[in-house]
């Protein structure tokens, strides 16, 4: 399956994408994780992205689209992919459509994770990520690791993202409303969108997501 996951920051896209990708045996492609990997390796792309990310702004399209296309050309995407955090505006959605059309493929669905804004703020404030793998995500209250500060999956050190500050979060939410929400309408016109609630326990949300994707696959 070829799926796009959308939802506000803090909706749990990364957490759900990690589990769903495993369940569906397709790669989880997160542009946020790709940027963070570039930042931790101090690549020129990482250095460019960091300034935008720390302020909660979008990294410019020419950088982001090129990076996403490169990733989509890797052979592991032949069986499908789960895109998390891309596309994030209409220009990116159109670039993705053009890229897929050139490859002779189409998206199977867009999963929209819905969550109220006050919940988003609580989730982000307590969020912790693994330094080894940004897809290993925890929350100090809602989804704590067995040992504080240590990743259950790989033993990596947990840390708080530099863009999970109050100011950056406010900007990210604004950017989500103005830039990203319009892509939901764009995909709705292609009949691709299923909206599910992202409230509840992680595995409850996963079950809702799996059910929604199965219903879509069954047509």
> Which active-site residues does the annotation give?
13, 88, 127, 161, 172
Least Å from the CB of residue 219 to ligand ADP = 29
Q: Residue 197's closest CA among 109, 113, 124?
A: 113
- Which CB atom, from 64 or from 206, has the smaller least distance to ligand ADP? 64
3-state secondary structure of 213: helix
Q: Is 58 in the site for ligand ADP (CB under 6 A)?
A: yes
* Span interacting with ligand ADP, options 28-36, 73-81, 99-107, 137-145, rule CB under 6 A: 28-36
* Span interacting with ligand ADP, options 20-28, 31-39, 138-146, 194-202, rule CB under 6 A: 31-39
Least Å from the CB of residue 46 to ligand ADP = 11
- Which CB atom, from 66 or from 149, has the smaller least distance to ligand ADP? 66
Q: What are phi and psi of 84, to 5 degrees?
A: -125, 110
Q: Is 198 in the site for ligand ADP (CB under 6 A)?
A: no
Size of the site for ligand ADP (CB under 6 A): 19
Q: Is 138 in the site for ligand ADP (CB under 6 A)?
A: no
- Which CB atom, from 81 or from 86, has the smaller least distance to ligand ADP? 86
Q: What stretches of the chain adopt beta strand conformation (E)?
A: 2-6, 28-30, 81-84, 109-114, 127-130, 137-139, 158-159, 193-197
3-state secondary structure of 138: strand
Q: Is 12 in the site for ligand ADP (CB under 6 A)?
A: no
Hey, which residues between 61 and 100 contact ligand ADP (CB under 6 A)?
64, 85-86, 88, 92
Written as six digits, the tokens of 175 are 């950017």
Which value, in Å, is the radius of gyration of the alpha carbons in the chain?
16
Q: Residue 13's closest CA among 114, 109, 90?
A: 114
Q: Residue 57's closest CA among 37, 41, 35?
A: 35
- Which CB atom, from 32 or from 109, has the smaller least distance to ligand ADP? 32
Hey, which residues between 155 and 194 contact ligand ADP (CB under 6 A)?
163, 172
Written as six digits, the tokens of 104 are 């002779």
Pairing label, strands 137-139, 109-114: unpaired
Nearest position to ligand ADP, beta carbon? 32
Cis peptide leading into residue 87 (ω within 30°): yes
- Name 187's bridge partners: none
Interface contacts to ligand ADP, rule CB under 6 A: 9-10, 13, 31-32, 35, 52-53, 56-59, 64, 85-86, 88, 92, 163, 172
């Amino acid at each position: 399956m070829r799926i796009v996951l959308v939802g506000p920051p803090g909706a749990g896209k990364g957490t759900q994408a990690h589990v769903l990708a495993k369940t569906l045996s397709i790669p989880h492609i997160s542009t946020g994780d790709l940027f963070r990997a570039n930042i931790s390796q101090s690549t020129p792309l990482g250095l460019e992205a960091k300034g935008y990310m720390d302020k909660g702004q979008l990294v410019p399209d020419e950088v982001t689209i090129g990076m996403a296309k490169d990733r989509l050309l890797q052979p592991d995407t032949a069986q499908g992919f789960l895109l998390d955090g891309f596309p994030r505006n209409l220009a990116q959605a159109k670039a993705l459509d053009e890229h897929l059309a050139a490859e002779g493929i189409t998206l199977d669905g867009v999963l929209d994770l819905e969550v109220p804004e006050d919940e988003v703020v609580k989730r982000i404030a307590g969020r912790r990520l693994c330094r080894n793998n940004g897809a290993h995500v925890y929350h100090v209250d809602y989804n704590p690791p067995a040992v504080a500060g240590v990743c259950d999956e790989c033993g990596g050190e947990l840390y708080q993202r530099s863009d999970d500050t109050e100011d950056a979060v406010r900007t990210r939410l604004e950017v989500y409303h103005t830039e990203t929400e319009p892509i939901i309408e764009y995909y709705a016109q292609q009949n691709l969108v299923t909206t599910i609630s992202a409230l509840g326990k992680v595995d409850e949300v996963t079950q809702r997501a799996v059910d929604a994707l199965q219903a879509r696959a069954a047509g």
